[in-house]
Structure formats: C-alpha cells, structure tokens
C-alpha cells in the first residue's frame, strides 16, 4: 500500500545551471522524500534537496543507462513507500524526456502525479549566444527535433520544414543531418551554432555553417545542441 496522499512530481531541472530551475520546482524539490534524477542533472541541482534520498536513473544518449521499464518500476516502488516523490529530468519533462512512458506507468498504477515544467535547452542556448530563434522577416517557425530513436526503431531522416532547426542530442547525428540538408538543397553557408554544456560553467559554443557541420564536429564531453537557420546569422549593428 502506498502512503496516504502519496504524490509524484515530474520536474524539469532546466538546462543545467541550478538557478534556472523554476521557483515551484525548487520548492517541491526541497520537500521531497526521494528524488530519481537523470544523468544530465548537476550536483548543484541536487544540493537543493539535501533531505531527500537520491537515486540515479541516468539517461544519456550513447552511454549505458537504466532501462526505461526499470525506471518506471522504481518510480512506482518509491510512490508506494514515500509521500513525496520527485522525478527530476533535465530540461523540460515534456520534451524528449520520455514522460509519456512514465505517465502511462503511473496512471496504470493509479498514482497521483503533477508535472512542473522546466526551461528547455533550446531556449537557454538561444539566450546564451544571444541569437533569437525567431526574427521578424527572417524566421517565424521553429522545429525542435532529435534523431534518437527507441530500441528497434529506424532513425527518422526527415528534415523538419521550419525556418529554424534545433537538433537535440547532436554530435554525429547533427553531422548526418547537415549532409542530408545539403543533398536536399540547403545552402552550404547556412548559419549554424553549436552549444555544449549549455548554462554550465564549462559551456562552449561555436559559430559555423552547414558545410562545415557536414564534415563533423570534435568529440564532445557533454550534451550538445545544434541550431541551424538564417536566424543564427550574426547581427549587423546599425550605428
């Protein structure tokens, strides 16, 4: 039997920096009995919940991680033991966070839950490099996408039809995307901005173009986000 009033919160931790979590998210985190957190959640973020038991359920593209079904089972087991359970996810839970699978598991087990949104990395990255994702007269649509797939699925090679393209979990996948875009007729000089470890102390960024991206990127040591489109072209300041 789960405790009376047991509650699960799916909380977005934001892109990395501890002070980019929402006020509501930080408040609930400080009250949690247990926190199941992703690999992208920083130690500074976990300092916000010193009272809680902390369980790593690391999910990193290309690295060994807990199977999603096992995470679902852990989440249910914690809800049956504790009154306030937090599932802490990098970015926003509802974007590339496998939230649907965890919500289905909670609903099947008749466990109450709430979702606390977080700042997704695309918005934090745009702010960090001071390049709006939309610009009047240049870009009025944005596509957030990833080439990562579930086990057994074929990679989706379609290029979204939008003015600004933002590819999560970049690296080699972004190189292949750039190659497909060039074959599809996108201009080689299309501006590209690469962000690694967005909002963290070791954040790095570089400006290049589609042709350069198609030739590959240096090995990264953290999450990579790739932003492509005319909105990424440097501004000409009028004096």
What residues are annotated to the active site? 38, 59
Residue 186 corresponds to which tokens in the numbers above?
A: 């996108």
**DSSP string over 62-112:** TS----HHHHHHHHHHHHTT-SEEEEEESB-TTSSS-HHHHHHHHHHTT--
Q: Hey, is 229 helix, strand or coil?
A: coil
Question: Quick check: 158 and 184 in contact, CB under 8 A?
Answer: no
Q: Contact 59/38 with Cβ under 8 angstroms?
A: yes
CB-based contacts of 89, cutoff 8 Å, min separation 6: 10, 11, 12, 13, 38, 41, 97, 99, 118
Distance spanning both ends of the chain, measured CA to CA: 69
Q: Which of 216, 224, 207 is nearest to 169 (CA)?
A: 224
């Amino acid at each position: 039997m789960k405790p009376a009033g047991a509650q699960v919160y799916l909380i977005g931790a934001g892109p990395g920096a501890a002070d980019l979590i929402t006020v509501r998210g930080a408040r609930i985190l400080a009250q949690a009995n247990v926190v199941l957190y992703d690999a992208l959640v920083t130690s500074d973020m976990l300092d916000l919940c010193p009272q809680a038991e902390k369980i790593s359920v690391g999910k990193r593209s290309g690295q060994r991680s807990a199977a999603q079904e096992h995470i679902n089972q852990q989440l249910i087991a914690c809800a049956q033991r504790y009154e306030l359970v937090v599932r802490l996810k990098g970015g926003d839970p509802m974007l590339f966070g496998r939230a649907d699978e965890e919500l289905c598991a909670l609903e099947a087990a008749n466990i109450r839950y709430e979702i606390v949104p977080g700042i997704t990395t695309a918005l934090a990255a745009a702010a960090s490099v001071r390049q709006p994702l939309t610009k009047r007269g240049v870009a009025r649509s944005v596509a957030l996408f990833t080439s990562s797939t579930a086990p057994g699925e074929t990679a989706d090679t379609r290029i979204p039809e939008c003015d600004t393209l933002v590819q999560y979990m970049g690296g080699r996948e972004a190189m292949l995307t750039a190659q497909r875009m060039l074959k599809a007729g996108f201009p080689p000089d299309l501006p590209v901005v690469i962000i690694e470890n967005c909002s963290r102390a070791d954040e790095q960024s570089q400006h290049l173009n589609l042709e350069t991206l198609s030739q590959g990127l240096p090995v990264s040591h953290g999450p990579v986000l790739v932003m492509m489109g005319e909105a990424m072209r440097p501004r000409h300041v009028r004096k």
